[in-house]
């Protein structure tokens, strides 16, 4: 499905290949069939808040059937790669920063989570697994004397924006000082310079779930294990990435894990 998403969204229509197009359309149909099966088998006596809230929105004409299906599909398949890669980046950063790891461990033992929260934020800033935000102009517009035609694809480069020193003190370094004592939530972030989950009505629907999942998993790992970067594995700063479902490392990375 992700390959189909990438194919239809990023590839100009004049370069479509008939066989590849049919293959991607088939995969989309198969997943849509799964979504329809979930809806048909739902237990009306079971308080499934997510699906029921979508059905209520559909009945009230707040969303379309296609939009409802897309929300269910995203809950089924989205988030695994993005969360796991972000946690890998954070653990890799910790493996070379003994003082930061000790500080994090001490705070977690005291049921304090500030360093954990900031560490995950800094990981998403320094190496955003979603490196771009893509939107389509719904109307003709002019921005900074640049004419934007309706249906123009607009790509926001998060990798570049997240590294700008005008927004982050040490933009090209992994350092928690970049996110400490800052409210980077979308509602208070006037310049919208930290957008790992996107922004607006189309921001990541699972952002809070992903945040909680990563915090719980990292807490359990750090309380029970220590991590050291293995020989031959590049540091977080040296690590090269490539575009895939999420912005993935180009080569495997290994760490030595020792029980505390």
Q: pLDDT, tens digit, for every residue of 14-58?
A: 777 888 888 888 887 888 888 888 777 776 556 667 788 888 888
Q: Which residues contact 82 (CB under 8 A, 6 or more apart)?
A: 129, 130, 210, 246
Residue in 232, 256, 222 with CA at minimum distance from that of residue 90? 222
* Element (DSSP H or E) covering residue 214: helix 207-224
Residue in 53, 28, 29 with CA at minimum distance from that of residue 42? 53
Long-range pairs of 76-80 with CB within 8 A, sequence gap ≥ 24: 76/31, 76/34, 76/35, 77/1, 77/2, 77/31, 78/204, 78/205, 78/206, 79/204, 79/206, 79/209, 79/210, 79/213
Total residue length of the chain: 260
Contact assessment for residue 109 and residue 223, using Cβ atoms and an 8 Å cutoff:
yes
φ/ψ of residue 118, rounded to 5? -65, -35
Domains of the chain: 2-77 (no CATH), 80-131+158-259 (1.10.630.10)
The helix-helix angle for 49-59 and 65-77 (nearest 10°) equals 160
Instruction: Give the 3-state secondary structure of residue 141.
Output: strand
Residue in 176, 187, 258, 248 with CA at minimum distance from that of residue 224? 258
136 labelled ligand-binding? no
d(Cα 149, Cα 125) in Å, to the nearest integer? 31
Query: Hey, what are 34's tokens?
Result: 């799964």
pLDDT in tens, the chain (260 residues): 666 766 666 666 777 788 888 888 888 788 888 888 877 777 655 666 778 888 888 889 998 988 888 888 777 777 678 899 999 999 999 999 999 999 999 999 999 999 999 999 999 999 999 888 888 899 999 888 999 999 898 888 999 999 999 889 999 999 999 998 776 655 555 568 899 998 887 888 788 889 999 999 999 999 999 999 999 999 999 999 987 667 889 988 999 999 99
Contact assessment for residue 235 and residue 213, using Cβ atoms and an 8 Å cutoff:
no
Residue in 225, 221, 226, 253 with CA at minimum distance from that of residue 237? 253
């Amino acid at each position: 499905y992700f390959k189909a998403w990438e194919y239809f969204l990023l590839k100009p229509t004049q370069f479509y290949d008939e066989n590849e197009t049919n293959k991607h359309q088939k995969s989309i149909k198969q997943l849509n069939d799964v979504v329809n099966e979930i809806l048909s088998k739902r237990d009306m006596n079971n308080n499934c808040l997510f699906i029921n809230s979508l059905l209520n929105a559909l009945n009230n004409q707040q969303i379309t059937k296609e939009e409802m299906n897309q929300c269910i599909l995203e809950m089924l398949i989205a988030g695994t790669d993005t969360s796991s890669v972000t946690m890998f980046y954070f653990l890799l950063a910790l493996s070379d920063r003994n003082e930061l790891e000790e500080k994090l461990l001490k705070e977690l033992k005291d049921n304090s989570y500030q360093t954990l929260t900031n560490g995950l934020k800094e990981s998403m800033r320094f190496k955003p697994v979603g490196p771009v935000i893509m939107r389509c102009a719904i109307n003709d517009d002019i921005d900074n004397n640049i004419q934007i035609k309706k249906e123009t694809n607009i790509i926001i480069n998060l990798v570049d924006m997240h590294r700008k020193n005008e927004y982050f003190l040490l933009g090209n370094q992994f350092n928690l000082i970049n996110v400490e004592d800052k409210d980077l939530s979308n509602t208070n972030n006037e310049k919208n310079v930290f957008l790992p989950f996107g922004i607006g009505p189309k921001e990541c629907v699972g952002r809070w779930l992903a945040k909680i999942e990563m915090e719980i998993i990292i807490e359990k790992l750090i309380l029970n294990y220590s991590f050291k970067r293995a020989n031959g594995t590049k540091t977080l700063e040296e690590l090269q990435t490539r575009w895939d479902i999420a912005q993935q490392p180009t080569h495997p990375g290994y760490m030595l894990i020792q029980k505390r």
